[in-house]
Structure 1
């Protein structure tokens, strides 16, 4: 084998290795771009679902504020009758919709607790000092919704209540936790855990006995234990230093959960399988009637004709 031939073989090998190197690098870039797009899409889904939940809460708050029984009972200081009306409305919503985490609170015009649908204590408690959303609605006389911090951290939609003379007499607040949101996202292949920063426990006293996760506390009683255990052993994934983290086939990212000052007081950790390909977001249709099939076969070569009669 002469020297020229050897040089040609060596050059050929170098060219092939170089091509393979750049091809692999190109494929990695394409793959990374696909993952970036996937994560962005999943985050957008979560944000849209969260916005949808806020809009539902706000719609209910506005609707309830126009209820004449609520208006009359608040104006006439009839707490028992008002609570009975709230419980009836909430029961109807739970019966005919998939909203199961609704609670309602009524405040007087000076922002004191008047009626709560879930408990009878704290009547007369002044909320003005730590409920900025209530103060905002009192001042603007306009409905408002946010992820707001109080004794609990959840979605709070607040609407002013006016009597028949258009006088401001108080506010109504529709409260939703993240359980319904969690169930909807799970159907889409996304797991979430909403977390609150520990430093806010002096306000959010309901979570003082809750599970901790790094510098956060878990604010949902129902949560994915496998995801919690995974995050407990990988607390670095709770950091927002990177847009997302990969662990085998699992993607972990997060979105901030802010309060009325647009300051983040918690995060919603998002987890999904990066290889999952399904169509769970499509609606399911089910027909429960009877289906009869009649076939007319003229001969073996004729195409089968079927008539479906749905009764």
Structure 2
């Protein structure tokens, strides 16, 4: 084998190695771009579902504020009858929509608790000092929804209540936690755990006995224990040093849950399988009736006969 042939072989091997290297780098970039797009799509799904939940709460608050029985009982200072009306409305919603995470609170025009659908404590409590959303609605007299901190951190949709003379007489508030959101996202292959910064426990007293997760506290009674244990072992995933983290087939990311003034005081941790196709987000249709195969065969035979006649 002469020297020229050896040089040619060596050059050929070097070129192949270089090509394989760049092919590897190119495939890695393509794969990374695909993961980036997947994460962005999943985060968008979570944000859209969260927005839908807020819009639903706001719609209910506005509808309740137009209920004449609610208006009359608030104006006439009749909390017992008003609470009966609320419980009937909520029972109907539960019966026909299976939504069990809705609570309603009604306030007087000076922002004192008038009626709560879930308890009778704190009636007459003045909420003006720590409920910024209520103050905003009182001042603007327009509906408003946000993730807001009180004794709990959840979705609070508030609508002003007016009497027949269009006088402002109070507010009605629809409260939703994140349980329905969690269930819907789980169906889409996404696990979530909402977490509140533990420094706000002085205000959010209802969570004082909930499990901690580093500098956060879990704010849902029902949550994915496996996801919680996973985060407990990988606390670095709670930081925002990276847009997302990969752990084998898992992708972990988060979105901030801002309060009234858009300050992020909580986060929603998100986890999903990076190899899972995104078809679950499509509507699911099922036909539960019986298919009459004889009728279909007969129709097909008649169709074939008509086609023969036409020809």
TM interval, shorter chain, is over 0.9
Residue in 1 aligned with 2:129?
129
**Shift in Å, 1:278:** 5.2
**Shift in Å, 1:289:** 3.2
Residue in 2 aligned with 1:109?
109
Instruction: After TM superposition, list the pairs within 5 Å mapping 1:183-198 onto structure 2.
Output: 183-198=183-198
Distance in 1 between residues matched to 2:302 and 2:139, nearest whole Å? 68
User: 1:123–1:295: structure 2 CA closer, same or farther, 3 Å change rule?
Assistant: closer
- The Cα RMSD (Å) is 1.7
**Shift in Å, 1:6:** 1.2
Distance in 1 between residues matched to 2:47 and 2:70, nearest whole Å? 32
Residue in 2 aligned with 1:26?
26
Consecutive aligned runs of 4 or more in structure 1 exceeding 6 Å deviation? 295-298
User: 1:113–1:296: structure 2 CA closer, same or farther, 3 Å change rule?
Assistant: closer
Distance in 1 between residues matched to 2:114 and 2:51, nearest whole Å? 28
- Secondary structure class of the residue paired with 1:96: helix
User: 1:306–1:54: structure 2 CA closer, same or farther, 3 Å change rule?
Assistant: farther
Residue in 2 aligned with 1:170?
170
Distance in 1 between residues matched to 2:145 and 2:295, nearest whole Å? 59
Query: Is the Cα contact below 8 Å between 1:296 and 1:306 reproduced in 2?
Result: no
Instruction: Point out where structure 2 has 5 or more consecutive residues left out of the alignment.
Output: 304-311
Residue in 2 aligned with 1:301?
none
Distance in 1 between residues matched to 2:238 and 2:153, nearest whole Å? 19
User: 1:232–1:297: structure 2 CA closer, same or farther, 3 Å change rule?
Assistant: closer
Residue in 1 aligned with 2:179?
179
Aligned residues: 302
The two structures have a TM-score, normalised by structure 1, of: 0.94
Distance in 1 between residues matched to 2:51 and 2:268, nearest whole Å? 14
Query: Is the Cα contact below 8 Å between 1:293 and 1:306 reproduced in 2?
Result: no
Distance in 2 between residues matched to 1:296 and 1:107, nearest whole Å? 61
Query: Is the Cα contact below 8 Å between 1:192 and 1:271 reproduced in 2?
Result: yes
The two structures have a TM-score, normalised by structure 2, of: 0.94
Distance in 1 between residues matched to 2:141 and 2:296, nearest whole Å? 71
User: 1:287–1:11: structure 2 CA closer, same or farther, 3 Å change rule?
Assistant: closer
- Secondary structure class of the residue paired with 1:280: helix
Distance in 2 between residues matched to 1:25 and 1:184, nearest whole Å? 38
Residue in 2 aligned with 1:146?
146
Distance in 2 between residues matched to 1:113 and 1:226, nearest whole Å? 39
**Shift in Å, 1:305:** 4.8
Query: Is the Cα contact below 8 Å between 1:249 and 1:274 reproduced in 2?
Result: yes
Query: Is the Cα contact below 8 Å between 1:295 and 1:306 reproduced in 2?
Result: no
Greater CA deviation, 285-294 or 17-26? 285-294
User: 1:6–1:292: structure 2 CA closer, same or farther, 3 Å change rule?
Assistant: same
Query: Is the Cα contact below 8 Å between 1:138 and 1:160 reproduced in 2?
Result: yes
**Shift in Å, 1:290:** 3.1
1:263-300 superposed Cα distances (whole Å, 9 cap, x missing partner) = 000000010000002522233333333332228999xx
Distance in 2 between residues matched to 1:207 and 1:219, nearest whole Å? 6
Query: Is the Cα contact below 8 Å between 1:294 and 1:306 reproduced in 2?
Result: no
Residue in 2 aligned with 1:50?
50
Residue in 1 aligned with 2:309?
none
Residue in 1 aligned with 2:307?
none
- Secondary structure class of the residue paired with 1:210: coil
Query: Is the Cα contact below 8 Å between 1:185 and 1:191 reproduced in 2?
Result: yes
Distance in 1 between residues matched to 2:297 and 2:119, nearest whole Å? 70
User: 1:251–1:78: structure 2 CA closer, same or farther, 3 Å change rule?
Assistant: same
**Shift in Å, 1:229:** 0.6
Distance in 1 between residues matched to 2:78 and 2:116, nearest whole Å? 13
Distance in 1 between residues matched to 2:41 and 2:134, nearest whole Å? 34
Residue in 1 aligned with 2:5?
5
The answer to whether the aligner puts 1:240 opposite 2:233 as a matched pair is: no
Distance in 2 between residues matched to 1:80 and 1:57, nearest whole Å? 24
